Amino acid sequence: MNLNFDLSVIARLAALGPDETVHITLSVDEPAGAAHEGASKAGRAVAPQGPLAELLLKGLLEAGDTLSFQQRRAGREAAATVTADGRLIVEGQAAPFTSPSKAAAAVTGTSSNGWVLWRTADGRTLDALRQQIQQD
């Protein structure tokens, strides 16, 4: 198996300080012509779980989507990446989070409603996406 990285990724990694954490998500593409029923465990899609699972299954979120939030008055902002299994990887945090609120609390240092804090690239909150499912 060969891993190929874009040169901009290598440059960014090289510029990181020794105390910074790097999160890398790898996906395995099935070779052309491979049978789906006989696919190895490593090649199978991951089923999303937890609070974000329904948003992923309905296609309102996708693995790799970047979420962000800003609390201008508190001077806080953060970005998180959605994983295929429904977790959030928050920049600067060592471990992924199973819920939007836990991810937001890790950034704010207090109990936070991540459903209204985290926003998609087009500005919608996770709560708005959840309400969209309920209306359908």
Q: What is the pLDDT of residue 72?
A: 85
pTM of the model: 0.66
Q: Helices H, strands E: what count in the chain?
A: 5, 3
**In this structure, are residues 135 and 122 in contact, taking their beta carbons and an 8 Å threshold?**
no
Tell which residue, 80, 84, 85, has the closest CA to residue 100.
80
How far is 11 from 135, CA to CA, in rounded Å?
A: 45
Diameter over CA atoms, the chain: 54
Kindly list the domain boundaries of the chain, sorted by start residue. 53-135
Q: What is the pLDDT of residue 30?
A: 52
**Distance in angstroms (rounded) separating the CA atoms of residues 103 and 109:** 10
Mean pLDDT by 10 residues, the chain (136 residues): 67 70 63 44 71 94 94 90 95 92 94 95 96 88
